[in-house]
Structure 1
Amino acid sequence: MAVSSAHPTDAQGESSETESGPMSHRDIIRALVGMLLAMMTAFLSSTIVSIALPTIITALKGSQNQYTWIVTATLLASTASTPIWGKLADLFSKKLLVQLSIIVFTVGSIAAGFAGSVETLIAWRALQGLGLGGLQSLVVIVIGAMVSPRQRGKYMGPMAAVMSVATVAGPLLGGLIVDSALGWRWCFFVGVPLSIVALIVVQRTLNVPVVKREVSIDYLGAGLLAGGVCALLIWVTLAGDQFAWASTPSFVLAGIGVVLLALLLVVETRAAEPIIPLRLFRDRTTVLATVASIAVGTAMFGGAVFLGQYFQIARGFSPTAAGLLTLPMVVGSMLAATGSGSLITRFGRWKHFLIIGGILMTVGFGLLGTITHDTNMVQIGVFLFILGLGMGMLMQNLVLAVQNSVAPTDLGIASSMVAFFRSLGGTIGVSVLGAVLATKVSGLIIDGLAAIGIKVDEASGGGEEVGIGNLNDLPEPIADIVRAAYGDGTATIFLVAAVLSAISVICVLGIKEVALKTKSSMQLQHEEAEKQPVATR
């Protein structure tokens, strides 16, 4: 009979000091350096690309729907892979997995830089998404393993700072690259040296002990999950554009998605280690935080991803200026995340920060829902600052609430699950809201053209033919109509995002506040293992 792999000595031959007691502040900081540098690599690369998308679509002669898919491909791949990365983190070296995710992301970035068409770019963006799925889940998992929930708040500051710096530096760097002789392809190449540095730093600084346990990967569940999500995503993206909502292709895609996800539920009830453990949903905090994460992801990704398009297309700013104009939202997010994290560590109370964050996020999106193509830019900056405050308080603290409510052995699964549902909401949000925007803009363009005596056949999709893909080739009067249509149509996206944010507030109100644990996941796992008798051969 084999010795149980749950005991620390079975994982490495001897018990590590960091497993039997809390890690020192110095050790945690050293480990965080590598993790945060890796996270910055992914966030920087993502934000560089987001600001360059209008230029990329124009250069490759793409469409509004393809614009959406360049973003969606990455979100979809990261969403489908996040639970798998989380499961692997419970079995293999977290350090090795972080390095692997960096490599995957880097290879995808290099390949995307050489893309010759929108279709190939979308494919390589999907590979980037696989690496991003690992980084966005593993960073949270490693920090959760090293630091107790009560002390985790004070380490949120560096995380928020890195995310904010990357969010600001990305658009600025992306704008400078696009506006320079280098061209948009270097938006993908520029992150490669930083990725190499991140790999080296992670190798030298991240030394989290490997606590192995018997875990079997649910490949069937992962396949059903990816297939079901992909089918539904393709449906919501193409319906209303490539085919009618009430049509055979629409019913087939929706049916496939529903059937695959229904089969997933059956498989997950029987799998030894399910990708999405249904038992976790018996906990009220997990259920409500999951629903809130879906709403937040849909609102945040679906609303914010079109900001760059609004500033560049509707307002005529350069990519560099568009990046600077997002600064109020980033500053608000950094201040709120850092401040709320410190206060949570000091007082041990966290629920009211979730409530305030949700309300501010709802108000911010609601105010942005009033903008047009000529709204005062200072006013928009104030709206974005309010939105950033809400995002900063809500996002990371939702993860903290779930991590505090689950068993130490479920840390990786639970953490990645919250990230999964947030990404799932974001993926669906970008697709659905992108389709809503395309329809709204098409109608506004048709109305605008009709006002100057140009008739367009709405049934043939004429409004789509006059869009951002050929904006540079349009006569100035018609180009002005297109820009105004995007400026006025974007408000609809923010109004929908405000409704979704309100749903997150309702969910947060139902969460029961539980005192934060004072021991890290590694300490709790070690204590639990010590209580278990070691089986004899």
Structure 2
Amino acid sequence: MRELQGRDPAEVRTVFLMLFMFVFLNADVMLMVPSFRAIRDEFGKNEAAIGLVASLFVFSGAGIALVSGYLADRYPRKLLVFFTILLGEIPCLLTGYVRSFEELFLIRALTGLGIGGLMPLIYSMIGDLVTDKERATASSWIGLAEGVGLALGMAVAGNLVERTDVAFLGASGWRLPFVLAALPNFILAPLFLLLAKEPPRGGGERSIQKELAQGLEYKRRIKLRDYLTIFRNRTNLYFILQAVPGTIGWGVLPNWVVAYYQEKNVSAALATNLNLLIGLGMILGGFFGGILGDRLHRRNKKYSPILCGITTLLGLAFFLAMLHWPLPDHPAVADMAGPLAIGIVGGFLITVTSSNIRAIVLNVNPPENRGAMMSIFTLSDSIGKGLGPVLGGVLIVAVGYIWTMDLATLAWIPCALVFLFLLAPQYPKDAAHLDQLMAERAKEMEQSL
């Protein structure tokens, strides 16, 4: 992010500490995926029950996000980030010591609170640290941290789930990864509290840079009636419209693709590594997609949603090809080369959207509403992701794996249509309206002298 060059070192530390904490908090998200069958067998449950645990994890985070977003727009965010990290990591650590399925059910719901609560806080701060010229790039760095965390969690869990001979702090097998994922943030969170800097509200708005440099403060804070303003913004509404069906794919595919290939007699380790490499494609797609999105955005704002629509359609086509790639009865490593190559490309394409849609949301909402809108973003995102695991489990029992995976992939089609035919013409208008609004706010700040 070029805009951070020459900035206050404390602001740079703030960004990088947030990114590292986000890595380890997100490592927890995918820890259950390679362990579904082990957890199922230990507690005597079926896929639908395990999917329900994964869904509750997401839904609990969605609920707390609404509270977190409101608080982010009213109060200093540094302390909120610190407590939110601990809110997620303490139950993550305790997951390694659950004694029953009921305890697992409860503790995973508590872990979801931390992950869901952090997202609005991070994006609220990022919106005040960088301008609209680099918000997609900034989002791509957050997405990179998220992707690295997801892959790290998947890798650790996939390689330790069957290793009951490896133990640490009294945890082994599928339990050990939860302990390992939680520990780093017990160090990073206090460091963040000591070393991070609260960015000035509105610091990313070019219209009020002169006023902020004069020592004036952007004093507007969210009010409950502002939620009506948020929902009157068509870009916000179109975003929500595409989020729910699209995230069904994100809920089902990452959670069940390992089990899908295991049903095809692919080993747990090989299926997990396949998912990891597809995840690598997703990480790269989200990262470079944000950089490309910023470049297109600087030329014409409508190019950002057009980019999202085209890459979504291409990405789902590659995923369908991956899922239907013919395999022998007992696939070896070489047999998986085709699905792997296609899946990596599909993963790259499908995640180009992730960085750009977050930047679009930041670019049409004023500073005092961004935490709230990102909490709605998290909520709508979580509805699909939360339904995904339990819906996947129920559908797998009802119609089998292949139909379930196909339906989840096709759920991305409505997203692409919204990007191409609704967001592309509307987003530039709403971004221009925000620029005009912030210019008026700059005059109000000058009059307060």
| TM-score bracket relative to the smaller structure | 0.7 to 0.9
Give unpaired runs (5+ residues) of structure 2.
Answer: 166-171, 202-218
- What amino acid does structure 1 have at the position aligned with 2:442? E
Give 1:194-273 correspondences, 5 Å limit.
Answer: 194-209=184-199, 272-273=224-225
Aligned to 1:33: 16
- Counterpart among 132, 156, 159 of residue 149 in structure 1: 132
Aligned to 2:173: 183
How far is the alpha carbon of 1:131 from its aligned partner?
0.7
Alpha-carbon distance between aligned partners in 2 of 1:30 and 1:117, rounded to the nearest angstrom: 41
- Counterpart among 335, 343, 346 of residue 387 in structure 1: 346
Provide closer, same or farther for how the CA distance between residues 405 and 316 of structure 1 changes in structure 2, counting only shifts above 3 A.
same
Q: Does 1:317 align with 2:267?
A: yes
Alpha carbons 2:289, 2:355 under 8 Å: kept: no
Provide closer, same or farther for how the CA distance between residues 91 and 305 of structure 1 changes in structure 2, counting only shifts above 3 A.
same
Aligned to 1:112: 95
Alignment coverage as a number of residue pairs: 405
Q: Does 1:493 align with 2:404?
A: yes
Alpha carbons 2:316, 2:412 under 8 Å: kept: yes
Alpha-carbon distance between aligned partners in 1 of 2:115 and 2:32, rounded to the nearest angstrom: 14
- Counterpart among 430, 437, 441 of residue 396 in structure 2: 437
Alpha-carbon distance between aligned partners in 2 of 1:106 and 1:190, rounded to the nearest angstrom: 11
Q: Which has the larger radius of gyration?
A: 1
SS state at 2:351 partner:
helix
Alpha-carbon distance between aligned partners in 2 of 1:297 and 1:113, rounded to the nearest angstrom: 28
Provide closer, same or farther for how the CA distance between residues 93 and 171 of structure 1 changes in structure 2, counting only shifts above 3 A.
same
Q: Deviations over 1:222-264 (max 9, x none)?
A: xxxxxxxxxxxxxxxxxxxxxxxxxxxxxxxxxxxxxxxxxxx
Q: Does 1:122 align with 2:71?
A: no
Alpha-carbon distance between aligned partners in 2 of 1:353 and 1:27, rounded to the nearest angstrom: 34
SS state at 1:46 partner:
coil
- Which shifted more, 418-427 or 334-343? 334-343
Provide closer, same or farther for how the CA distance between residues 402 and 156 of structure 1 changes in structure 2, counting only shifts above 3 A.
closer
Aligned to 1:337: 286
Aligned to 2:212: none
- Which shifted more, 69-78 or 58-67? 58-67
Aligned to 2:442: 527
Alpha-carbon distance between aligned partners in 2 of 1:410 and 1:23, rounded to the nearest angstrom: 28
How far is the alpha carbon of 1:315 from its aligned partner?
2.6
Aligned to 1:90: 73
Provide closer, same or farther for how the CA distance between residues 532 and 337 of structure 1 changes in structure 2, counting only shifts above 3 A.
farther
Aligned to 1:420: 379
Q: Deviations over 1:344-390 (max 9, x none)?
A: 33342422321222112321343245357748422221332233123
Provide closer, same or farther for how the CA distance between residues 384 and 278 of structure 1 changes in structure 2, counting only shifts above 3 A.
farther
Q: Does 1:370 align with 2:360?
A: no
Alpha carbons 2:323, 2:339 under 8 Å: kept: no
Alpha-carbon distance between aligned partners in 2 of 1:214 and 1:352, rounded to the nearest angstrom: 33
Aligned to 1:469: none
Alpha carbons 2:55, 2:388 under 8 Å: kept: no
> Under a length normalisation based on structure 1, what TM-score does the superposition of the two structures give?
0.69
Alpha-carbon distance between aligned partners in 1 of 2:225 and 2:43, rounded to the nearest angstrom: 44
How far is the alpha carbon of 1:137 from its aligned partner?
2.5
Give unpaired runs (5+ residues) of structure 1.
Answer: 1-20, 217-271, 441-488
- Counterpart among 155, 170, 177 of residue 172 in structure 1: 155
Aligned to 2:305: 351
Q: Does 1:46 align with 2:5?
A: no
Would you identify which runs of 4 or more consecutive aligned residues in structure 1 move more than 6 Å? 523-526
Alpha carbons 1:109, 1:128 under 8 Å: kept: yes
Aligned to 2:214: none
Alpha-carbon distance between aligned partners in 2 of 1:532 and 1:414, rounded to the nearest angstrom: 29
Alpha-carbon distance between aligned partners in 2 of 1:393 and 1:438, rounded to the nearest angstrom: 32
